[in-house]
Amino acid sequence: MPDVEALREPRRHPRASAIIAASSRVAWADLRTIYTPLTWTVGWLGRIVMQVVFYALIGTLLGDHRTFVFLFVGQAVMACVMEVFMSIASTTWERGAGTLPLLTAAPGSLWPVFVGRSLQWLPSGAATACVALFVVGPFLGVSWSLPTAPLAAAAVLLTGASMYPFALTIAAYALRRPGWRNVLSSVASTVTMLICGVTVPLEFWPTWVHTLANALPITHGLDAVRTLQSVTITGSALPQLGWTALSGIAWFAIAVCAFNVFGAAGRRDGSIGFGD
Amino acid sequence: MMRQTWRFITAGFYFQLRMMRGKPDWFLALITAPLSTAVFLTIFLHAERQDLTAYAVLGPALIALWQMSLVTAGELITFERENGTLEALVAAPARFSAVLFGRILAVCGVSLFAFVESWAVGWAVTGRPESINRPVILAATLLLTVLAMAGWAGVMACVFVLARSARTFQNALSYPFFVLGGVIVPEALLPEWLQWPAKLVFLSWSSDLLRASLSASPATNVSLRLLAIAILGVAGYLLAAVLLERTLRRVRQTGSLAHA
């Protein structure tokens, strides 16, 4: 009698980095399908710049240039985060495409697939925010100094990257309710705008709201960008950047758990392909 | 003929209401309107400008009206195309434009609920309800705004048929028009070179009149401003009629109804 165990192929568990690299290829392909260079520039970038200007103009209504700059910087950084929140929708596309049961059955973990799957929004978001801040901003009186501007650009990218796992955590829930993906994304985005110092300083809110806001990386990242916009010493924003990265790492761990819980629950009750 | 057209419009209206039931995406603008109202209110409250809270209440409601009407209603044809039902709708004996108008009107009508939401949030946040000092002006402006919006949504519905990517149009449609439409910052405060294009956007006339209807100061040139909304609305209907006729003729000739 042949040795059945010897005939079995050894179980191979692909490395997480290899899965992320593979699924990110889908992300870039998606980006190329959604936008051409022209539609990205005219359609998306134009829209984002107008959104930033729309909010900043409230400073004009209030007759206060400081409010104008505050709203401009806040909305520009928020633009990057808003785009990162699109990963909530793009995560659920796998469910719509019918590939989620296959991904769950595959030997690799589910979380690296989704970490790579929506990476396309991050460079696009950071680019739109940087164009608003460093190209449009100076025309409207939002000035930058040379040593701080590159660090502010890095801070925008770090803020987007740190908010990405937060968006993925919501996305893990949206996989159960794909019909609500756009609502979840919009509500998360508006609540973030409301409490994280994007439109009003954190001090406006009661202490318990501070605690919530401080748990989100954008609160620290945006604070860093604001500091870099108002000073010329690059080191002054380092503590905020540290908090941004730390809170991003914490959200990454939560996102991994959320996808693991989703996968385990789906296998247990057979609900992977049958959400609403 | 008129009675028949009315029947098609009401059929489209009720069909759309049934379609929207239980689908959160149709109500996205209504779900976010209360949160947006809170965003604008907190900006004005933080600046200690309680006199501007009416702006914060009307702005998000107008944004919701615009988004639901132009963006969502504009996507109606795209939705039918994806659903594989556009050919049957165009070939049916009922006039496609009448059914489409009824459906767009349903979306625009539902979007008016955003005004109630924003007003309620304004009351909850500031502790006092925003007084409606001129209810007749408010009602007339809202009615004309919704009708004008339905006309321009018809234009968008046609553009979406021939556009490669409806999403691109959707993105470009929002904030540039919120700036030009003066939904939060009145058109008079925009740079001079932007004020003339803003006058061509009916939303700028609507938002000014809506603010005037809440304000305690006397409203001036009301009839003239209502007429401006009506004229720009009629322009939308005329353009929509021409575009729909041309669009349908073109897609019938090229056989590209389902793949334009």
B43 touches chain A (CB under 8 A): yes
Whether A194 and B171 lie within 8 Å, measured CB to CB = no
How far apart CA A88 and CA A175 sit, in angstroms, is 9
Helix, strand and coil percent figures for chain A, each rounded to 5: 80, 0, 20
Structure tokens that stand for B89 in this block: 């709708």
For range B38-43, the mean pLDDT: 96
- Residues of B with Cβ-Cβ distance to A183 under 8 angstroms: 24-25, 28, 31
Name the DSSP class of A138.
G
The Cα of A50 is separated from the nearest Cα of chain B by a number of Å equal to 6
Tokens representing B236? 């939308």
Tell me: pLDDT of B251 over 50: yes
**Closest CB from B38, B165, B186 relative to A194:** B38
Q: What percent of chain B has pLDDT over 70?
A: 92
Closest approach of B5 to chain A, Cα-based (Å): 34
Which residue of A43, A53, A71 is in closest CB contact with B171? A43
d(CA B232, CA B242): 16
Interface test with B, best of A185, A193, A200 (most B CBs within 10 A): A200
CA distance A80 to A164: 10
Q: Which whole-number Å values give the CA distances from B208 to A151, B6, B33, B60, B196, in the listed order?
A: 42, 32, 19, 14, 15
Question: Where does residue B250 rank: exposed (0-12), middle (13-18), buried (19+ CB within 10 A)?
Answer: middle
Q: What was the ipTM of the complex prediction?
A: 0.90
Which residues from chain A sit within 8 angstroms of residue B42, using beta carbons?
A: 194, 199-200, 204
Q: Which residue type does B231 have?
A: I
In the prediction, which pLDDT does B156 show? 82
Could you tell me which of A131, A234, A114 has the C-alpha nearest to residue A174?
A114
Q: What is the mean pLDDT of chain A?
A: 90
> How many A-B residue pairs are in contact by the CB < 8 A criterion?
98
More confident residue, A90 or B96: A90
The predicted model gives B219-229 an average pLDDT of 93
Q: Is A246 on the interface with B (CB under 8 A)?
A: no
Residue B229 in tokens: 């909304």
Considering only residues B205 and A99, tell me which one the structure prediction assigns the higher pLDDT: B205
* Rounded distance between C-alpha atoms, residue B146 and residue B112, angstroms: 8
Confidence of residue A273 (pLDDT cuts 50, 70, 90): low
Asked whether the beta carbons of B198 and B204 are under 8 A apart, the reply is yes
**B35·A58 Cβ contact <8 A:** no
- For A133, which DSSP code? I
Is the Cβ of B185 closer than 8 Å to some Cβ of chain A?
Answer: yes
Per-residue pLDDT tens over the stretch B227-240: 999 999 999 999 98
Residues A168 and A185: their CA atoms lie apart, in Å, by 11
HEC letters along A75-133: HHHHHHHHHHCHHHHHHHHHHHHCCHHHHHHCCCCCHHHHHHHCCCHHHHHHHHHHHHH
| Residue A263 host element (H or E) | helix A238-269
- Predicted pLDDT of residue B160: 73
Helices marked H in chain B? 2-20, 28-46, 53-66, 73-74, 76-83, 86-91, 96-111, 113-126, 135-162, 166-173, 175-180, 192-199, 202-214, 222-254
pLDDT for the residue numbered B38 = 96
Q: What is the pLDDT of residue B225?
A: 95
pLDDT in tens, B85-133: 877 888 888 888 888 889 988 998 899 999 999 999 999 999 988 889 9
Assess A46–B contact: CB distance below 8 Å, yes or no.
yes
What are the pLDDT digits (tens) for A46-59?
889 999 999 999 99
What tokens does A190 get?
């508006």
Interface test with A, best of B168, B177, B184, B211 (most A CBs within 10 A): B168
Q: Which residues of A touch B82 (CB under 8 A)?
A: none
pLDDT tens track for A221-262:
999 999 999 877 767 788 999 999 999 999 999 999 999 999
Contact present, B181 and B203 (Cβ < 8 Å): yes
Cβ–Cβ contact A41 with B under 8 A: no
Per mean pLDDT, which range of A3-12, A258-267, B179-188 is the poorest?
Answer: A3-12
State the pLDDT at residue B40: 96
Q: Is some CB atom of chain A closer than 8 A to the CB atom of B197? A: no
As to burial, measured by CB atoms within 10 angstroms (0-12 exposed, 13-18 middle, 19+ buried), residue A31 is middle
| Nearest-by-Cβ selection for B185 from A39, A58, A190 | A58
Task: Give the three-state DSSP class for A265.
Answer: helix
Quote the DSSP letter at residue B215. Answer: -
Q: Containing H/E element for A222?
A: helix A217-230
Rounded to 5 degrees, φ, ψ at B34 are: -65, -40
Coil, strand or helix at A199: coil
Locate B109 and state its tokens: 């009508």
Sign of the CA dihedral with A36 first, then A41, A43, and A45 last: positive
Contacts of A187 in chain B (CB under 8 A): 31-32, 35
Rounded CA-CA distance A196/A205 in Å is: 10
Measured between beta carbons, the chain A residues lying within 8 angstroms of B64 are none
**Contact assignment for B24 to A179 by CB distance below 8 Å:** yes
Pairwise CA distance, residues B258 & B260, whole Å: 6
Please give the residue of chain B at the shortest CA–CA distance from A202.
B46
Express as a percent the part of chain A with pLDDT over 90.
67
Distance of alpha carbon A196 from alpha carbon A215, whole angstroms: 10
